[in-house]
Amino acid sequence: MEEGRADRVFRALADSTRRDIVLRTLEAEHSVSALARDYPMSFAAVQKHVAVLEEAGLVTKRRRGREQLVRGDVDTVRRAARLLDALEAVWRGRAERMSEILAEPDGGTP
């Protein structure tokens, strides 16, 4: 994942309304107004949330008549998950090194 892109993805995920939109649109397509009906805020606010998600690549939109269908993009979710996996792997590296150190408390590699 490119530098600034990760920023946008995590930023977009840092809001429960947006996470819920991603959830719902990964299950099935929903129009913006269909999404908006379920949140205690204006249509325009939800529209902005969708725009943030689209900007981050977490959802895509396609036209159907007068409505815009929003669909979650699982690839972006996966890329974010892999980035976190990479952090976890780094930690495991430390754990390994610590194990080695503990396993050979006598010093260098002869």
Partner DNA sequence: CAGACCTACAACCATACGGTTGTATATGCG
Partner DNA sequence: CGCATATACAACCGTATGGTTGTAGGTCTG
Q: Which residues bind DNA (CB under 7 A)?
A: 11, 14-15, 17, 31-34, 36, 41-45, 47-50, 52, 61, 63, 65-69
Residues 16-35 that bind its own copies (CB under 8 A): 16, 19, 22-23, 26-28
Sign of CA dihedral 78, 37, 33, 50: negative
Cβ proximity to DNA, 52 vs 83, nearer residue: 52
Binding to its own copies by residue 15, rule CB under 8 A? yes
DSSP string, 72-96: E-HHHHHHHHHHHHHHHHHHHHHHH
